[in-house]
Each structure stands twice: as C-alpha cells, then as structure tokens.
Amino acid sequence: MPAPGTLFLLRHGQSVLNAQDRFTGLLDPPLSPIGEDEATRAGALLSSASFSPDTVYTSTLTRTRDTARIIVDALGIQDVPVLAAWELNERSYGSLTGRARRELLTELGPEVFLFWRRSYYGAPPPMSRAELGAIRRSKAFAGLPPEAVLPTESLCGVVKRVRIFWHQHLRPRIRAREDVLVIGHGNSLRALCLVLGRLSHAEVEALNIPTGHPLLYRFAPGLVPLVPCGKYLNPLAARTAAALVAAAGGT
C-alpha cells in the first residue's frame, strides 16, 4: 500500500501582542519583526527538508496568513493553493482577550489563572457584547458563521472543531498522498496534536508549541502517526523555545 502524505504543523511567527505577553485569542495583530524572522527561518528549514506542500491551510487571522506568505515565497510555491479555515483560528479567551498575562496572574492567582489558561475544560468568563461585536465586524471574520466567534471557549471546544476539520479536510488529502502544511495557533495546533496522536487531556494540557518551529507528522497506512507527537525539524531549538513558553505559563 502506498505511503500516505506528510503533514507539517507550524505555529505562526510571533505577533506584536505575543511580544507584549498578552492574551491575543481572536484579536488580529500583525507579526512582529521577530515573528517575520521566525517565519523566514521556518521557510528555510522546510526548504532544506525538500518539503513542497500540495496545499497550505491557515486560519483566517493575519498572523497565520502573513506567515504563509513568507513561507510560500521561501519555498517558491506561489502556485500552491493557500486556504483559510476558521476552524484553525485561535481559541476565544473571553474576557481575558487583550489583557496582560502578568497582570492577570497577580489579579486572579495561579490556580484560577492556570485553570482558565491551560486546563482542558476551563473557559474564561465571556467577553462583553460590545467586544464580541467588534471582533465579528473585523475583516478576519467577514462572512463567517456565528460559531466562528464565541464569547469564550475552552480547549475542549477547540478540539471539537479541529477534529471535524481533520476528518473533513486534512485526512482525505493525506490519505490521497498529498503533502500538507497547516499554519495555526498555539491552541488550535495543540488540539490537532491531540486528535492526531490521541493524546490524553493531561498530555495536551502539558503540551507547548513554540512559534516558528515546523513539526513533522508521518503516517502509517492507517493514518496513525509514526511518532505520536510528531518530530520537529530542529528538535533542540524547538525544545528550548517550548521550555520558554512553558516558563511563561504555557501557550
């Protein structure tokens, strides 16, 4: 039986709100200069691995789409379709959206802060109707269904939408031997890792995905990952970057 296609996951380059250590969620900031450099380095890594995707998926948010543009230029694959999917968007952080993490940690205390930020079922208090309306009117969400912009969301909720996306879009392409690049966010990619590797709730709660580090999945004929959590192209640099994410409280 022919081998399935390969899948690369890539968290977008650092955004300007990532650089300020704020809960970004459904806000739509651009990449920071560091984020642009991260995307350029990721493109170089993918090029050195001779990876040429048949399809690129992004979220609808600017930071993933700009990362994709840099990657596409680095790989010289301007004719490859780049498809935006709201199911790959970051989770809604509710009333935490835009807030500085350090301020919230002091305000809430570590137990509540980590429950809302990292637990599988925890969802922060919902954002206000005005905040929700402003996000829904932004360019990144034009024409999307109401379920694409929720007042708050748990990681469990992200897993549900990402699982559907896997079965409807990614799985058929990989089964058809396509090579696919998915450029997403910390939480949407954690959710996809859970779906792919059948991770436990505890495993995905502990998982940190750094910006700008390509993560490779190869599959057995039954589309079971050969390595449950995938393999980074630059494992040492990715581990170091993931440790920094963990030290800051996680994705």
Kindly report the CATH number assigned to the domain that includes residue 99.
3.40.50.1240
For residue 213, the surrounding DSSP H or E stretch is none
Q: How far apart are CA 143 and CA 136, in angstroms?
A: 9
HSE-CB at 104 with a 13 A cutoff on CA atoms is: 22
Name 183's bridge partners. 10, 58
Q: Are 152 and 93 in contact (CB under 8 A)?
A: yes
Average of per-residue pLDDT across 180-199: 98
**Among the listed residues 251, 211, 208, the one whose alpha carbon sits nearest the alpha carbon of residue 23:** 251
To the query of whether residue 90 is one of the catalytic residues in this protein, the response is yes
Number of separate domains in the chain: 1
Host domain of residue 233? 7-247
pTM above 0.85, yes or no: yes
Report yes or no on 243 lying in a domain: yes
Strand ranges for the chain from DSSP E: 7-11, 55-58, 82-84, 180-184, 215-217, 231-232
Can you tell me which residue has the tokens 């570590």?
110
Report yes or no on 31 lying in a domain: yes
Q: Identity (one letter) of the amino acid at 21?
A: D
Query: What residues have CB less than 8 Å from 162, skipping those under 6 apart?
Result: 87, 88, 188, 191, 192, 195
pLDDT band per the 50, 70, 90 thresholds, residue 247: confident
User: Which residue is catalytic, options 38, 90, 153, 205?
Assistant: 90
pLDDT at 107: 94
pLDDT at 185: 98
Average of per-residue pLDDT across 187-207: 97
Report yes or no on 113 lying in a domain: yes
Report yes or no on 98 lying in a domain: yes
**Roughly how many angstroms between the first and final C-alpha of the chain, as a whole number?**
38
Report yes or no on 24 lying in a domain: yes
Chain-centroid distance of CA 112 in Å reads: 24
pLDDT-above-70 percentage for the chain: 98
Tens of pLDDT, residues 47-72: 999 999 999 999 999 999 999 999 99
Report yes or no on 1 lying in a domain: no
3-state DSSP call for residue 55?
strand
pLDDT band per the 50, 70, 90 thresholds, residue 244: confident
pLDDT at 1: 64
Q: Is the pLDDT of residue 108 over 70?
A: yes
Phi first, then psi, for residue 17 (nearest 5°) are: -80, -30
pLDDT at 245: 83
Report yes or no on 2 lying in a domain: no
To the query of whether residue 12 is one of the catalytic residues in this protein, the response is yes
For residue 166, the 8-state DSSP code is: I
Report yes or no on 72 lying in a domain: yes
